C-alpha cells in the first residue's frame, strides 16, 4: 500500500491544508446518526460532494441497492458519514456474471478506444480532485493535503495505463523449419476480482483497474468496508467517462460479509484473476480459495520495512527521509519504515535530531484542520496494536524519547512516538505496527544490519542512507525486498514496478510490467506454408 513521489512537492510532512468553508445541515436519511457532530463533513457544497457520494452498489452501469446497509464512520470524530449497500455473496456472484458478459464485448474494443476512455476517466478525476480528496479525508482520516496527493497519484495510474493500452505487443519467433511461423499473442485474462484496502482507497483501485481495463479485462471491485465512498465515487466518474456498463463494477460490503464475498469472488468459475492488497494473513486465505481453480493471482501484502542509517550517512538527510517514510498517513502504509537500524557512531545524533523533527513538524488533529499532519488511525483496534507494541517494548527495556500514548483528541488518535534502546526480542522489531511508532535499534556492522533487515519473512520495501558508493551497491543488492530507497524515503511512482518478495506478495503493479498481470500469452504455430 503505497504513496507517491508527488507528496514530495506537497512538502511532507508539513502539509498546509485547505479548510472547508461551510458547514451544512445533515440529510434526514442515513447521514448523521447522532453519534457525533459532522462538523465540516456534511454532504453538499462546501462539505462532502453530494454528486459523488453514492451509497448503492454499481453493477452493469446501474446503481443497485441491497437489502441491508452498513454505516461508514469518520475515524476522527466517530460520526456516521452515511450508510452504504451491504452486498453479500449473491450480489458478488451476480456482479461477476455481469462483468463476464461485458468482457465478451470489451475484449474486442480497440486498444485506442480503451485508451481514450481511460483518459476521459483520468480527466474527470483531475477535474474533481478536490472533492475526491475530501471524501478520502472524511472516511479514512487522512490529512487533506495527503488525500489530495493520493488523488493525483490515483489519476496518474489511469493516465499511465491509458497509454500502455496501445503498447501491448506480441512476438514473431523464428522456427527451425521454413514451413512454419511462430507467433506469440497477448490477450486479456478475463474478469478480474479486485479487493482493496482502506489506507489508499482510491490509488489501490486505479493501480489495479487501470491495468485491467487497458488490457481488455473487466473488473469487480470489493472496497474496504471502512472506505467504500471513494470506490463508489470512482464508479460515478467512470460512468460519466463512458466506460461501458459492466466493465467497472463495485460491490461494497460490511466486515461481517467480507469473508463470504471474498470467497465468492475467489471461487467463481468466471473469475480469471484475483488482485488483492492487504494483510499477509488475508492474502493466504484468498490464495487458498484461488488455488482450487488455479486462478491468476497478484498480491501486495504486508511489509516490515527496515530503515538503515550507516555511519557514512548525512544525518539531516536521513532524518528528513525518516519523517517522510514513517509518518505518512500516520504510519498506516505497507511501505512505511517499521524499524530503524542505526549504526553506533551516528546513533545518538540521529535519535536527537529525529526527536526534534517529530516535535517540531508533526501536528495531530482532524484531517480537515489546517495544521494537521497526523490524522487519526483508522479505528480503535489499530490504536490498541500500537499501544501493545509500545507497552511490550517498554517492558523489555526500551525508552520513550517522545510520544508513547494515546492523544487527548480521541480514542483513535495516537501520539507520534520514538523509542530508543529497542532490541530484536520486542514485538515492534518483528511485527508490522501500522501506526506512528518509530523504534530505533543500534547496530555495529554492515553485515549485522543486513542480517537484521533480512530476518523478516516479508520483504516489500527497504530504505538505507549511506554516502559510500561501494556500500550502496552491496546493500541495495543484498536487501531481500522488492523496492529499495537509497537516500530516499519516498519511492513510489506510477512508472516504477511496485511489489515485494517473500511473503509480501506476488506480481508487480504500476509501470510497464503492471499490465502483464492481466494478460495471457498464447503461442500460435502456423504451419503448412
Helix (H) or strand (E) holding 484: strand 483-486
Q: Write out 125-153 in H/E/C secondary structure.
A: HHHCHHHHHHHHHHHHCCCHHHHHHHHHH
Q: In terms of Cα–Cα distance, which of 261, 216, 11, 198 is closest to 113? A: 216
Catalytic residue among 4, 217, 266, 334: 334
User: What's the CA gap between 69 and 64, in Å, rounded?
Assistant: 12
Q: In terms of Cα–Cα distance, which of 228, 293, 285, 295 is closest to 262? A: 285
What φ, ψ does residue 467 adopt, rounded to 5°?
-110, 10
Please list, in sequence order, all residues whose beta carbon lies within 8 angstroms of the beta carbon of residue 9, skipping any fewer than 6 positions away.
Answer: none
User: What's the CA gap between 425 and 403, in Å, rounded?
Assistant: 22
Q: Which residue has the cell 507528496?
A: 7
How many Å separate Cα 50 from the centre of its chain? 25
Q: Which residue has the cell 457544497?
A: 45
Residue 300 annotated to the active site: yes
User: What's the CA gap between 17 and 26, in Å, rounded?
Assistant: 24
Please list, in sequence order, all residues whose beta carbon lies within 8 angstroms of the beta carbon of residue 113, skipping any fewer than 6 positions away.
Answer: none
Task: Tell me the C-alpha to C-alpha distance, in Å, between residue 62 and each of 229, 242, 467.
Answer: 16, 13, 56
10 Å CB burial of residue 28 (0-12, 13-18, 19+) is exposed
Cβ atoms of 497 and 509 closer than 8 Å: yes
User: What's the CA gap between 221 and 59, in Å, rounded?
Assistant: 10
DSSP 173-220: E--SSTT-EEEEEEEE--EEEEE--SSSTTHHHHHHHHHHHHHT-EEE
Q: In terms of Cα–Cα distance, which of 149, 189, 180, 377 is closest to 271? A: 189
Catalytic residue among 91, 225, 300, 517: 300
Q: In terms of Cα–Cα distance, which of 126, 130, 133 is closest to 156? A: 126
H helices of 56-143, in order, are: 89-106, 111-127, 129-140
User: What's the CA gap between 172 and 181, in Å, rounded?
Assistant: 8
User: What's the CA gap between 211 and 201, in Å, rounded?
Assistant: 17
How many Å separate Cα 104 from the centre of its chain? 30
Q: What are the residue numbers of the active site?
A: 300, 334
Amino acid at each position: 500500500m503505497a504513496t507517491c513521489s508527488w507528496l514530495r512537492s506537497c512538502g511532507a510532512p508539513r502539509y498546509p491544508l485547505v479548510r472547508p468553508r461551510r458547514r451544512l445541515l445533515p440529510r434526514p436519511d442515513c447521514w448523521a446518526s447522532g453519534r457525533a457532530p459532522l462538523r465540516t463533513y456534511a454532504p453538499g457544497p462546501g462539505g462532502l460532494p453530494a454528486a459523488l457520494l453514492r451509497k448503492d452498489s454499481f453493477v452493469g452501469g446501474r446503481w443497485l441497492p441491497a437489502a441491508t446497509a452498513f454505516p461508514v464512520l469518520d475515524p476522527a470524530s466517530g460520526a456516521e458519514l452515511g450508510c452504504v449497500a451491504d452486498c453479500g455473496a449473491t450480489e458478488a456472484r451476480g456482479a461477476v456474471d455481469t462483468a463476464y458478459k461485458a468482457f465478451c464485448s470489451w475484449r474486442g474494443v480497440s486498444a485506442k478506444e480503451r485508451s481514450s476512455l481511460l483518459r476521459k476517466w483520468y480527466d474527470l478525476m483531475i477535474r474533481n480532485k478536490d472533492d475526491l480528496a475530501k471524501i478520502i479525508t472524511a472516511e479514512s482520516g487522512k490529512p487533506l493535503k495527503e488525500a489530495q496527493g493520493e488523488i493525483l497519484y490515483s489519476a496518474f495510474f489511469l493516465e499511465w495505463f491509458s497509454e500502455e493500452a496501445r503498447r501491448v505487443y506480441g512476438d514473431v519467433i523464428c522456427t527451425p523449419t521454413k514451413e512454419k511461423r511462430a507467433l506469440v499473442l497477448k490477450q486479456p485474462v478475463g474478469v478480474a476480482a479486485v479487493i482493496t484496502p482502506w489506507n489508499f482507497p482510491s490509488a489501490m483501485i486505479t493501480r489495479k483497474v487501470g491495468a485491467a481495463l487497458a488490457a481488455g479485462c473487466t473488473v469487480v471491485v470489493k472496497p474496504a468496508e471502512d472506505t467504500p465512498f471513494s470506490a463508489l465515487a470512482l464508479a460515478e466518474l467512470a460512468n460519466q467517462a463512458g466506460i461501458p456498463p459492466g466493465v467497472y463494477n463495485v460491490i461494497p460490503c460490511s466486515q461481517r460479509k467480507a469473508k463470504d464475498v471474498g470467497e465468492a469472488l475467489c471461487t467463481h468459475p468466471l473469475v480469471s484473476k484475483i488482485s488483492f492488497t492487504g494483510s499477509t494473513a488475508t492474502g493466504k486465505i484468498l490464495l487458498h480459495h484461488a488455488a482450487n481453480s488455479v486462478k491468476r493471482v497478484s498480491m501486495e501484502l504486508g511489509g516490515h520495512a527496515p530503515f538503515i542509517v550507516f555511519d557514512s550517512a548525512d544525518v539531516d538527510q536521513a532524518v528528513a527521509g525518516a519523517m517522510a517514510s514513517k509518518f505518512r498517513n500516520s504510519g498506516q502504509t505497507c511501505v512505511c519504515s517499521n524499524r530503524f537500524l542505526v549504526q553506533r557512531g551516528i546513533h545518538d545524533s540521529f535519535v536527537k535530531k529525529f526527536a526534534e523533527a517529530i516535535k517540531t513538524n508533526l501536528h495531530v488533529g482532524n484531517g480537515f484542520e489546517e495544521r494537521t499532519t497526523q490524522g487519526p488511525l483508522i479505528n480503535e483496534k489499530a490504536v490498541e496494536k500500537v499501544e501493545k507494541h509500545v507497552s511490550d517494548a517498554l517492558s523489555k527495556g526500551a525508552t520513550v524519547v517522545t510520544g508513547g500514548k494515546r492523544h487527548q483528541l480521541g480514542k483513535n488518535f495516537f501520539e507520534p512516538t520514538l523509542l530508543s534502546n529497542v532490541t530484536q526480542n520486542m514485538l515492534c522489531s518483528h511485527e508490522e505496527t501500522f501506526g506512528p511508532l518509530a523504534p530505533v535499534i543500534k547496530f555495529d556492522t554492515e553485515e549485522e544490519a543486513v542480517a537484521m533487515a533480512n530476518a523478516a519473512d516479508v520483504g516489500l520495501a527497504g530504505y538505507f542512507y549511506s554516502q559510500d558508493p561501494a556500500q550502496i551497491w552491496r546493500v541495495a543488492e543484498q536487501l531481500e525486498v522488492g523496492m529499495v530507497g537509497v537516500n530516499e524515503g519516498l519511492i513510489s511512482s506510477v512508472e516504477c514496478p511496485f511489489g515485494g518478495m517473500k511473503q509480501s506478495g506476488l506480481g508487480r503493479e504500476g509501470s510497464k510490467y503492471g499490465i502483464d498481470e492481466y494478460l495471457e500469452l498464447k503461442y500460435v504455430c502456423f504451419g503448412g506454408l
